Amino acid sequence: MPTSKDVARLAGVSQSTVSYVMSGRRPISEKTRKRVEDAMAQLAFQPNAGARALASRRSQVIGLAIPFVPDLHMGSIMEFISVIAATARQSDYDILLVTDDEGPQGLERVVGQQLVDGLIIMQVEGDDARVPVIRKLPVPSVLIGIPEDSKGLECIDADFELAGAMCVEELAQLGHETVTLVDWQDAVVRRHVNYVKRFHRGVDKAAAATGTKVIKVPGRVTIAGMEKAVTKALKETNGIPAFIAPEAANQDLLVEALHNLGLVLGEDASVVVNCSDRIAERQRIPLTTIGFEPDEVSRRAVHRIVRDLTDTTSRAHEALELIRPVLKRRKSTIRLRPQR
């Protein structure tokens, strides 16, 4: 393996100059920097991460804190993780996954041992035990989600309140007078994550504004449970029923339950779900979706933490950014009245 000494010899500079080019700790002329970088490329030289961290006092690693709780929908979580990791690499950062095994102390450990330069926090609860620790840590943090007390924190998330309103308004415009909200599964609701409350708030506001009756049924983890919830909602619905399923874990269950009950999407019932375009378009009847834009939220979270790490003068002491959701109409919804 080539070493920094080999690079220095080929570039005709001292080994310390090579070190300064890699760490950025001292100004180096553009001509000399170019010779060193060309030598690195010619030798396929890869700086030792440990040595570079010692020299720069940076690990070039971002901690990604995710509590892996029971019933967590891993497909949705992986959408975030894959985009976060890819976006971080574009800025020369790696990702260290920090699970909830150690609780908030795990964040203190990875920061205290200088394993990470900053943190991205996911699955934020309303009263999240990690928040008091985050406030005290000497590294920047960006939260994907919003705790009840967000003062002094950088938060980014989809605009779930707007998403709830968009779903109800869409179905009301189609002519549905009654809408059934298939809620998040009990394990998620019990964690008091803020996005559930915000989605409910948007649904309730739009229902009041449009005169739409909303029936709320709990999310289920089995087909039998979903069929029971759907049957109950159908008894309280006049005319063609309409359903909203904002949790990806409920999408397959709801579609199969309606099929088992003899209802054809887009003919006997309208359905708006949260799932990826790829999944929505692969269905027998393509699904109308409300998208919470996980890719965009993930990219913006990484851009924020990288900006905080590379330009400390622009670091926000407090910020709240909401990404607009996207509703895409497909064939699982039916128009009951002419469009105005």
φ and ψ at residue 234, rounded to 5 degrees: -65, -35
- Report the mean per-residue pLDDT for the chain: 88
**N-term to C-term CA, the chain:** 70
Do the two domains 61-158+294-325 and 160-291 of this chain adopt the same fold?
A: yes
pLDDT of 339 higher than 70: no
pLDDT of 62 higher than 90: yes
Instruction: Tell me which of 5-9, 100-104, 307-311 is least confident.
Output: 100-104
Q: Is 325 exposed, middle or buried (0-12, 13-18, 19+ CB in 10 A)?
A: buried
Give the chain's length.
Answer: 340
Looking at residue 93, its pLDDT comes to 92
Q: What is the pLDDT of residues 243-294, one digit of tens each?
A: 999 998 888 899 999 999 999 999 999 999 998 898 999 999 999 999 999 9
Query: What is the Cα–Cα distance from 62 to 88, expressed in whole angstroms?
Result: 8
Query: What is the Cα–Cα distance from 299 to 119, expressed in whole angstroms?
Result: 14
pLDDT of 12 higher than 80: yes
User: Residue 280 is encoded by which pair of tokens?
Assistant: 């929505």
Query: What is the Cα–Cα distance from 335 to 147, expressed in whole angstroms?
Result: 38
Q: Any idea where the domains of the chain sit in the sequence? A: 61-158+294-325, 160-291
> Is domain 61-158+294-325 classified as CATH 3.40.50.620?
no
User: Between vectors from CA 302 to CA 52 and to CA 145, what angle results, nearest 5°?
Assistant: 135
Helix boundaries (H) for the chain: 4-11, 15-23, 30-43, 49-56, 74-90, 104-112, 130-136, 160-174, 186-190, 194-210, 223-235, 248-260, 277-282, 294-310
Q: What is the pLDDT of residues 109-145, one digit of tens each?
A: 999 888 999 999 998 888 899 999 999 999 999 999 9
**Residue appearing with tokens 């709320």:** 216
- The total of other beta-carbon atoms located within 10 Å of residue 88's CB is 23
Q: Between residues 51 and 117, which one has the greater pLDDT?
A: 117
Looking at residue 226, its pLDDT comes to 92
Query: What is the Cα–Cα distance from 221 to 81, expressed in whole angstroms?
Result: 24
Average of per-residue pLDDT across 301-312: 89
Looking at residue 54, its pLDDT comes to 46
Q: Which fold is adopted by the domain 160-291?
A: Rossmann fold (3.40.50)
User: Which among 287, 262, 264 has a CA at the least distance from the CA of 275?
Assistant: 287
Average of per-residue pLDDT across 319-330: 96
Quote the pTM value.
Answer: 0.80
Looking at residue 189, its pLDDT comes to 80
Query: What is the Cα–Cα distance from 134 to 152, expressed in whole angstroms?
Result: 10
